[in-house]
Amino acid sequence: MDELDKKMIDGFQRGVPLVERPYAAIAEKLGVSEDEVIEALKVLKENGALSRVGAVFKPNTVGHSTLAAMAVEPDRLEDVAAVVSNFDAVNHNYEREHRLNLWFVVTATDSQGVQQVIEDIEHMTGIKVLNLPMLEDYHLDLGFDLQWN
Protein backbone atom coordinates (compact mmCIF):
# COMPACT_ATOMS: atom_id res chain seq x y z
CA MET A 1 0.00 0.00 0.00
CA ASP A 2 1.80 3.15 -1.13
CA GLU A 3 0.93 6.82 -0.74
CA LEU A 4 -1.12 6.93 -3.94
CA ASP A 5 -3.16 3.92 -2.81
CA LYS A 6 -3.86 5.50 0.57
CA LYS A 7 -4.77 8.84 -0.97
CA MET A 8 -7.23 7.17 -3.29
CA ILE A 9 -8.86 5.16 -0.50
CA ASP A 10 -8.96 8.12 1.89
CA GLY A 11 -10.03 10.77 -0.58
CA PHE A 12 -12.25 9.09 -3.12
CA GLN A 13 -14.79 6.91 -1.34
CA ARG A 14 -17.30 9.48 -2.49
CA GLY A 15 -17.41 12.45 -4.78
CA VAL A 16 -15.79 10.81 -7.79
CA PRO A 17 -17.41 12.88 -10.54
CA LEU A 18 -19.83 11.22 -12.94
CA VAL A 19 -17.89 12.06 -16.08
CA GLU A 20 -16.80 10.05 -19.09
CA ARG A 21 -13.22 9.78 -17.79
CA PRO A 22 -13.54 9.47 -13.98
CA TYR A 23 -10.01 8.14 -13.51
CA ALA A 24 -8.63 11.22 -15.25
CA ALA A 25 -10.57 13.35 -12.76
CA ILE A 26 -8.98 11.46 -9.84
CA ALA A 27 -5.55 11.69 -11.48
CA GLU A 28 -5.82 15.43 -11.92
CA LYS A 29 -6.62 15.96 -8.25
CA LEU A 30 -3.71 13.78 -7.17
CA GLY A 31 -1.22 15.15 -9.69
CA VAL A 32 -0.53 11.79 -11.30
CA SER A 33 -1.41 10.32 -14.69
CA GLU A 34 -4.69 8.67 -15.57
CA ASP A 35 -2.81 5.45 -16.38
CA GLU A 36 -1.19 5.43 -12.94
CA VAL A 37 -4.59 5.73 -11.28
CA ILE A 38 -6.11 2.93 -13.36
CA GLU A 39 -3.07 0.70 -12.81
CA ALA A 40 -3.09 1.31 -9.04
CA LEU A 41 -6.84 0.63 -8.81
CA LYS A 42 -6.40 -2.61 -10.75
CA VAL A 43 -3.73 -3.79 -8.31
CA LEU A 44 -5.86 -2.82 -5.29
CA LYS A 45 -8.79 -4.71 -6.75
CA GLU A 46 -6.68 -7.78 -7.55
CA ASN A 47 -5.18 -7.95 -4.08
CA GLY A 48 -8.60 -7.55 -2.50
CA ALA A 49 -8.10 -4.15 -0.85
CA LEU A 50 -10.95 -2.75 -2.93
CA SER A 51 -14.28 -4.47 -3.45
CA ARG A 52 -15.02 -2.29 -6.45
CA VAL A 53 -15.06 1.23 -7.83
CA GLY A 54 -18.39 2.82 -8.62
CA ALA A 55 -21.77 3.70 -7.24
CA VAL A 56 -23.04 2.54 -3.86
CA PHE A 57 -26.79 2.18 -4.15
CA LYS A 58 -29.36 2.70 -1.42
CA PRO A 59 -30.56 -0.69 -0.11
CA ASN A 60 -33.65 -2.16 -1.75
CA THR A 61 -33.46 0.23 -4.70
CA VAL A 62 -33.52 -2.54 -7.20
CA GLY A 63 -34.80 -5.73 -5.75
CA HIS A 64 -35.49 -6.66 -2.16
CA SER A 65 -33.28 -8.01 0.54
CA THR A 66 -33.54 -9.14 4.09
CA LEU A 67 -31.31 -10.28 6.93
CA ALA A 68 -32.09 -13.79 8.08
CA ALA A 69 -30.89 -15.82 11.04
CA MET A 70 -30.99 -19.46 12.05
CA ALA A 71 -30.15 -21.34 15.24
CA VAL A 72 -28.22 -24.37 13.99
CA GLU A 73 -26.84 -27.16 16.17
CA PRO A 74 -23.03 -27.01 15.96
CA ASP A 75 -22.65 -30.45 14.39
CA ARG A 76 -25.01 -29.49 11.56
CA LEU A 77 -23.56 -26.05 10.92
CA GLU A 78 -21.28 -27.02 8.01
CA ASP A 79 -24.07 -28.76 6.13
CA VAL A 80 -26.72 -26.13 6.77
CA ALA A 81 -24.32 -23.30 5.86
CA ALA A 82 -23.54 -25.06 2.58
CA VAL A 83 -27.24 -25.37 1.76
CA VAL A 84 -27.75 -21.66 2.47
CA SER A 85 -24.65 -20.48 0.59
CA ASN A 86 -25.63 -22.55 -2.41
CA PHE A 87 -28.53 -20.19 -3.15
CA ASP A 88 -27.53 -17.50 -5.65
CA ALA A 89 -29.90 -15.20 -3.76
CA VAL A 90 -27.64 -15.41 -0.68
CA ASN A 91 -24.78 -12.95 -1.06
CA HIS A 92 -23.50 -12.81 2.53
CA ASN A 93 -23.42 -15.67 4.98
CA TYR A 94 -21.66 -15.43 8.34
CA GLU A 95 -21.23 -17.62 11.34
CA ARG A 96 -21.75 -15.52 14.47
CA GLU A 97 -21.35 -16.12 18.19
CA HIS A 98 -24.89 -16.55 19.45
CA ARG A 99 -27.54 -19.24 19.74
CA LEU A 100 -28.68 -17.78 16.42
CA ASN A 101 -25.37 -18.65 14.80
CA LEU A 102 -25.99 -18.42 11.07
CA TRP A 103 -26.70 -14.99 9.61
CA PHE A 104 -27.21 -14.30 5.94
CA VAL A 105 -28.62 -11.77 3.49
CA VAL A 106 -31.19 -12.85 0.93
CA THR A 107 -31.63 -10.64 -2.14
CA ALA A 108 -34.15 -11.16 -4.93
CA THR A 109 -35.98 -9.07 -7.47
CA ASP A 110 -39.06 -8.79 -5.26
CA SER A 111 -40.28 -9.60 -1.75
CA GLN A 112 -42.01 -12.80 -2.92
CA GLY A 113 -38.67 -14.03 -4.27
CA VAL A 114 -37.07 -13.38 -0.87
CA GLN A 115 -39.90 -15.18 0.92
CA GLN A 116 -39.59 -18.14 -1.43
CA VAL A 117 -35.87 -18.55 -0.69
CA ILE A 118 -36.56 -18.42 3.06
CA GLU A 119 -39.25 -21.08 2.73
CA ASP A 120 -37.00 -23.24 0.57
CA ILE A 121 -34.23 -23.05 3.18
CA GLU A 122 -36.66 -23.93 5.97
CA HIS A 123 -37.97 -26.83 3.95
CA MET A 124 -34.51 -28.14 3.03
CA THR A 125 -33.06 -27.86 6.54
CA GLY A 126 -36.07 -28.25 8.79
CA ILE A 127 -34.88 -25.23 10.75
CA LYS A 128 -36.90 -22.05 11.31
CA VAL A 129 -35.50 -18.95 9.61
CA LEU A 130 -35.93 -15.62 11.41
CA ASN A 131 -36.74 -12.94 8.84
CA LEU A 132 -35.41 -9.51 9.89
CA PRO A 133 -36.11 -7.08 7.05
CA MET A 134 -34.91 -3.51 7.24
CA LEU A 135 -37.68 -1.22 8.52
CA GLU A 136 -35.67 1.98 8.48
CA ASP A 137 -32.12 2.85 7.44
CA TYR A 138 -30.23 5.31 9.68
CA HIS A 139 -26.79 5.10 8.19
CA LEU A 140 -25.34 8.25 6.76
CA ASP A 141 -23.02 6.63 4.25
CA LEU A 142 -20.00 8.84 3.74
CA GLY A 143 -17.55 6.02 3.27
CA PHE A 144 -15.34 4.47 5.91
CA ASP A 145 -12.69 6.39 7.80
CA LEU A 146 -9.70 4.05 7.73
CA GLN A 147 -6.97 4.50 10.31
CA TRP A 148 -3.65 3.61 8.69
CA ASN A 149 -0.96 2.29 10.96
Partner 1 sequence: MDDLDRAIVVATQEGLPLSLRPYDDVARSVGLEPADVINRMEKMLKSGVIRRNGVVPNHYALGYKANGMTVWDVPDDQISALGRRVGALDFVSHCYHRPRHLPDWPYNLFCMVHGRDHESVEKHTRQILMILGDAARDHRILYSTRILKKSGLRLVA
> Between the CA atoms of 29, 35, 38 and 39, what dihedral angle is there, to the nearest 10 degrees?
-120
Query: Which residue's CB is nearer to partner 1, number 81 or number 118?
Result: 81
Burial 84-103 (b: 16+ CB within 10 A, else e): beebebbeebeeeeeeebbb
Q: What residues from 3 to 22 belong to the interface with partner 1 (CB under 8 A)?
A: 8-9, 12-22
Query: Which residue's CB is nearer to partner 1, number 32 or number 50?
Result: 50
Query: Which residue's CB is nearer to partner 1, number 66 or number 123?
Result: 66
Q: What residues from 100 to 119 belong to the interface with partner 1 (CB under 8 A)?
A: 100, 102-104, 107-109
DSSP state of 58: P
Cβ atoms 65, 59 nearer than 8 A: yes
CB atoms within 10 A of CB 141: 11
Total residues binding partner 1 (CB under 8 A): 77
Query: Which residue's CB is nearer to partner 1, number 124 or number 134?
Result: 134
Q: What residues from 38 to 97 belong to the interface with partner 1 (CB under 8 A)?
A: 38, 41-42, 44-45, 47-58, 61-63, 65, 67, 69, 71, 81, 84-85, 88, 90-97
